[in-house]
């Protein structure tokens, strides 16, 4: 049996969790998939999950699981794994999974393959495809160690709408309560409620066109080169994480897993190598232009149009060509 | 539960270990070895993993605030002494090299196993490391190490406050959200890039580093959890039109295509 740990916040199951379900449906060795839902007061959510008809929904409810902490999740998911004995435990490679899954797998002596973008069976054995070296290479790996195998799937690598129902005619899968005995459990972490630093001043998700700059811009004073292109295109200016870390552009202009997710008509990536943390935030753009001096930069894998060259030569030429056109 | 002694009390020194990794430079163009399962290591130039540089900087700042000691630790072949020496030049007090030839290619859980014994002996209050490495990118090593040491942890940290034998940290969540987490010391934190402004080694620091200790310990034989079956240049998911020519030619062609083909202008 394959167990998918379903993540939720504010009463909604994350889209990435459905992507994880879709990812394992094609390779679940015996076709059997169960979902695991943890929390406090999640009866309604369990019904919503069951309505998708992918397989039984196992629910662990306890006050200790009300606010996420790694200690409580390691304990509860560990107990569920011991009770249900899955061969494969799948989840989205979310910040939450990164926080608890490596410790849980280590506790069980089990392998965890993370950031997985593809799965296949080779003579009944699972093979996992994952990026390495900042996406410059793709590795196929097999897991070594005790059962079960844990797999964390890269967000956005699979399609949530690919989830198949097993109950033709729309019947719900059963919801099964799993009792986990929390006596003797001590939680070392205390979690305060999540908050946002400040209201997002710039909503990049609504932008039609975006010019985004990365490390290749080299210095803060060069941002103006990209800014002129943005003006000529009628685009918002955005950046990859390192630019915002350096304070060259404000944090609310960051695109990527820790920033905003965007889907503009046009996305021009300037001096951005295309680390996966950036790609997950922009690969939904309709047309992507990449300008980079490195012909092997992973950004070209998602680009529709690629220019290998010096951005300090290409950008001014691009800007002046656009202004010719508007005259 | 923990092999660590109780925290030494409020207002006292904080002893910090920072686990760092040596990774290929960003400019490195990978070449795959003959077996097709790893890169040709003789072609690689190396540098300090960037998230680990932020973890080191945070440790140095905590030492400036509270007093104490910063010990850097790295597992791998002899070449990793380069990043240990660099960390010493930036201000770490001493270094531990967990020496093992094959460690560079091992997965995160195996690296945690290799580092465990050396860290147990140190009895530190805090272990810091970067949230992930720029080579294999498992984002697992720190969390596995915390589990092996029996100490609490938190990940993707953007602020660290140590008080009264406890640590309060700002953990980054997705899409611009954050959360404060508190736990007792000793604890392990994985640090997010951008938590602070990095300092670089001064000439004085480089000179001083030459006199600092790098203690070597044998790595043992950690058990791998992954086996790389094959390694390849990724296939393109999209058909990318690569435009060539002088900057002016490329710009004209790009504007034409964006307007006529993509209708994106």
Instruction: Return all residues near A129 (Cβ < 8 A) that are at least 6 apart.
Output: A116, A117, A118, A119, A120, A138, A139, A140
Which residue, among B125, B49, B41, has the nearest Cα to B82 in the 3D structure? Answer: B49
A272 inside domain: yes
Task: Please indicate, yes or no, whether residues A23 and A171 belong to a single structural domain of this protein.
Answer: yes
Task: Please indicate, yes or no, whether residues A7 and A78 belong to a single structural domain of this protein.
Answer: yes
Contact list, B165 vs chain A (CB under 8 Å): none
Task: Report cis status (omega within 30 of 0) of the bond before B76.
Answer: no
Task: Please indicate, yes or no, whether residues A110 and A11 belong to a single structural domain of this protein.
Answer: yes
Task: Identify the closest residue of chain B to A145 by CA–CA distance.
Answer: B225
Whether the CB of A100 is below 8 Å from some CB of chain B: the reply is yes
Q: Which of B139, B194, B243 sits opposite A245 (nearest CB)?
A: B194
Boundary of a domain, candidates A160, A177, A194: A177
Task: Please indicate, yes or no, whether residues A22 and A102 belong to a single structural domain of this protein.
Answer: yes
Task: Report cis status (omega within 30 of 0) of the bond before A148.
Answer: yes
Which residue, among A232, A200, A197, A238, has the nearest Cα to A217 in the 3D structure? Answer: A238
- Helices H / strands E in chain B, number of each: 6, 13
Residue ranges of chain B with per-residue pLDDT less than 70: 1-11, 236-237
Position A180 pLDDT exceeds 60? yes
Q: What one-character DSSP code corresponds to residue B193?
A: T
Are residues B254 and A307, on separate chains, in Cβ contact within 8 Å? yes
Please state, as a whole number, how many other Cβ atoms lie within 10 Å of the Cβ of residue A104: 25
Position A10 pLDDT exceeds 90? no
Higher-scoring residue by pLDDT: A226, A146: A226
Higher-scoring residue by pLDDT: B244, A156: B244
pLDDT of res. A198: 65
Boundary of a domain, candidates A177, A194, A224: A177
A198 inside domain: no
Which residue, among A296, A231, A295, has the nearest Cα to A268 in the 3D structure? Answer: A231
> What's the domain range around A307?
204-326
* C-alpha B30 chain-centroid distance: 20
pLDDT of res. B6: 52
Position A210 pLDDT exceeds 90? yes
Task: Please indicate, yes or no, whether residues A31 and A167 belong to a single structural domain of this protein.
Answer: yes
Q: What is the pLDDT of residues B62-76, one digit of tens each?
A: 999 999 999 999 999
Q: Which of A141, A192, A316 sits opposite B228 (nearest CB)?
A: A141
Where does B7-151 show beta strands of DSSP type E?
14-19, 22-24, 46-48, 68-76, 94-99, 126-130
Task: Please indicate, yes or no, whether residues A137 and A97 belong to a single structural domain of this protein.
Answer: yes
Position A318 pLDDT exceeds 50? yes
Task: Please indicate, yes or no, whether residues A111 and A259 belong to a single structural domain of this protein.
Answer: no
pLDDT of res. A276: 85
Task: Please indicate, yes or no, whether residues A172 and A311 belong to a single structural domain of this protein.
Answer: no
A196 inside domain: no
pLDDT of res. A124: 87
Position A287 pLDDT exceeds 60? yes
Instruction: Return all residues near B24 (Cβ < 8 A) that are at least 6 apart.
Output: A133, B30, B39, B44, B45, B46, B47, B134, B135
pLDDT of res. A309: 95
Position A278 pLDDT exceeds 90? yes
| Residues B187, A190: Cα–Cα separation, whole Å | 13
* Angle of the A311-326 helix axis to the A223-233 helix axis, nearest 10: 30
Please give the structure tokens belonging to residue A120: 């296949």
Query: Residues, chain B, total?
Result: 265
Burial A38-72 (b: 16+ CB within 10 A, else e): bbeebeebbebbbebbbbbbbbbbbebbebbbbbb
pLDDT of res. B242: 95
- Bridge partners of residue A115, in order along the sequence: none
A195 inside domain: no
pLDDT of res. B209: 95
Whether the CB of A193 is below 8 Å from some CB of chain B: the reply is yes
Residue A7, classed as helix, strand or coil, is coil
pLDDT of res. B9: 45
Query: Which of these ranges, A37-46, A91-100, A285-294, B235-244, has the smallest mean pLDDT?
Result: B235-244
Which residue, among B246, B241, B245, has the nearest Cα to B262 in the 3D structure? Answer: B241
Task: Please indicate, yes or no, whether residues A211 and A167 belong to a single structural domain of this protein.
Answer: no
CA distances from B67 to A129, A221, B183 (A): 45, 38, 20
Please give the structure tokens belonging to residue B164: 């009264």
In CATH, the number for domain B14-218 is: 3.40.50.620
Please state, as a whole number, how many other Cβ atoms lie within 10 Å of the Cβ of residue A222: 18
How close B11 gets to chain A, by Cα (Å)?
22
Task: Please indicate, yes or no, whether residues A50 and A167 belong to a single structural domain of this protein.
Answer: yes
A218 inside domain: yes
Which residue, among B220, B228, B19, B225, has the nearest Cα to B110 in the 3D structure? Answer: B225
Task: Please indicate, yes or no, whether residues A43 and A153 belong to a single structural domain of this protein.
Answer: yes
Contact A261, A281 (CB under 8 A): yes
How close A149 gets to chain B, by Cα (Å)?
10
pLDDT of res. B5: 54
| Residues B167, B160: Cα–Cα separation, whole Å | 7
Q: What one-character DSSP code corresponds to residue B236?
A: P
| Residues B231, B35: Cα–Cα separation, whole Å | 9
Q: Which of B178, B183, B223 sits opposite A194 (nearest CB)?
A: B178
Cα-based angle A159, A164, A167 (whole degrees, multiple of 5): 160
Position A142 pLDDT exceeds 60? yes
ipTM summary value: 0.90
Task: Please indicate, yes or no, whether residues A153 and A213 belong to a single structural domain of this protein.
Answer: no
* C-alpha A296 chain-centroid distance: 23
CA distance between the termini of chain B: 62
How close A39 gets to chain B, by Cα (Å)?
18
DSSP-derived pairing of the beta strands A149-153 and A175-177 = unpaired
CA distances from B19 to A9, B85, B93, B189 (A): 32, 13, 14, 11
Please give the structure tokens belonging to residue A35: 């979902």
Whether the CB of A309 is below 8 Å from some CB of chain B: the reply is yes
Contact A281, A155 (CB under 8 A): no
Contact list, A290 vs chain B (CB under 8 Å): 240
Please give the structure tokens belonging to residue B212: 């600092």
Are residues A131 and B175, on separate chains, in Cβ contact within 8 Å? no
pLDDT of res. B181: 98
Q: What is the CATH number of the domain that holds A217?
A: 3.40.50.1220
A54 inside domain: yes
Total domains, chain A:
2
Which residue, among A192, A277, A95, has the nearest Cα to B174 in the 3D structure? Answer: A95
Average pLDDT, chain A: 93
Which residue, among B73, B115, B95, has the nearest Cα to B213 in the 3D structure? Answer: B95
Residue A228, classed as helix, strand or coil, is helix
CA distances from A322 to A211, A267, B248 (A): 14, 15, 11
| Domain ranges in chain B with CATH number 3.40.50.620 | 14-218
Which residue, among B15, B93, B22, has the nearest Cα to B53 in the 3D structure? Answer: B22
Position A206 pLDDT exceeds 90? no
Determine what percent of chain A is predicted with pLDDT higher than 70.
97
């Amino acid at each position: 049996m394959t167990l998918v740990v379903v993540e939720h916040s504010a009463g909604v199951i994350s889209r990435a969790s459905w992507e994880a379900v879709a990812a394992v449906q094609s390779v679940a060795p015996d076709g059997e998939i169960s979902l695991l839902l943890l929390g406090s007061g999640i009866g309604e959510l369990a019904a919503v999950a069951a309505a998708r008809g992918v397989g039984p929904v196992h629910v662990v409810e306890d006050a200790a699981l009300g606010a996420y902490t790694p200690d409580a999740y390691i304990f509860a998911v560990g107990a569920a794994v011991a009770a249900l004995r899955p061969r494969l435990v799948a989840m989205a490679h979310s910040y939450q999974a990164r926080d608890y899954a490596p410790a849980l797998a280590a506790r069980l002596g089990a392998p965890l393959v993370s950031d997985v973008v593809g799965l296949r069976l080779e003579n009944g054995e699972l093979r996992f495809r994952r990026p390495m070296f900042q996406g410059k290479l793709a590795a196929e790996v097999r897991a070594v160690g005790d059962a079960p195998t844990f797999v964390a799937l890269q967000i956005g690598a699979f399609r949530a709408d690919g989830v198949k129902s097993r109950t033709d005619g729309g019947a719900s899968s059963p919801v099964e309560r799993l009792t986990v005995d929390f006596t003797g459990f001590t939680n070392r972490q205390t979690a305060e409620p999540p908050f946002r630093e400040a209201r997002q001043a710039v909503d990049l998700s609504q932008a039609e066109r975006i010019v985004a700059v990365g490390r290749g811009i080299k210095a803060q004073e060069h941002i103006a080169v990209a800014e002129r292109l943005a003006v000529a295109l009628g685009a918002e200016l955005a950046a990859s994480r390192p630019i915002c870390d350096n304070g060259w552009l404000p944090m609310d202009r960051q695109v990527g897993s820790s920033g905003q997710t965007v889907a503009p008509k046009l996305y021009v990536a300037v001096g951005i190598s295309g680390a996966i943390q950036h790609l997950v935030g922009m690969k939904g753009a309709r047309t992507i232009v990449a300008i980079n001096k490195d012909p092997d930069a992973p950004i070209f894998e998602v680009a529709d149009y690629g220019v290998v060259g010096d951005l300090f030569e290409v950008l001014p030429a691009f800007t002046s060509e656009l202004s010719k056109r508007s005259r | 539960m923990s092999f660590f002694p109780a925290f030494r009390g409020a207002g006292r020194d904080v002893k910090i270990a920072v686990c760092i990794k040596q990774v290929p430079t960003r400019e490195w163009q990978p070449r795959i070895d003959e077996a097709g399962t790893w890169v040709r290591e003789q072609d690689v130039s190396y540098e300090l993993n960037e998230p680990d540089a932020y973890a080191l900087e945070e440790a140095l700042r905590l030492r400036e605030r509270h007093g104490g000691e910063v010990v850097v630790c790295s597992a791998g072949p002899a070449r990793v002494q380069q990043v240990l020496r660099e960390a010493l030049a930036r201000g770490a007090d001493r270094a531990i090299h967990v020496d093992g030839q094959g460690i560079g290619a091992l997965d995160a859980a195996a690296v945690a196993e290799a580092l465990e014994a050396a860290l147990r002996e140190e009895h530190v209050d805090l272990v810091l490391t970067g949230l992930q490495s720029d080579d294999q990118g498992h984002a697992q090593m720190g969390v596995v190490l915390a589990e092996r040491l029996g100490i609490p942890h938190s990940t993707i940290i953007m602020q660290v406050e140590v008080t009264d034998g406890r640590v309060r940290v700002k953990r980054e969540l997705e899409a611009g959200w954050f959360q404060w987490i508190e736990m007792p010391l000793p604890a392990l934190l994985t640090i997010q890039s951008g938590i602070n402004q990095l300092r670089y080694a001064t000439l004085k620091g480089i000179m001083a580093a030459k006199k600092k200790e790098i203690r070597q310990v044998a790595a043992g034989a950690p058990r791998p959890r992954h086996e790389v079956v094959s390694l390849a240049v990724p296939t393109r998911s999209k058909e990318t039109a690569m435009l060539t020519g002088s900057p002016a030619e490329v710009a004209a062609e790009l504007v034409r295509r964006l307007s006529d083909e993509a209708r994106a202008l």
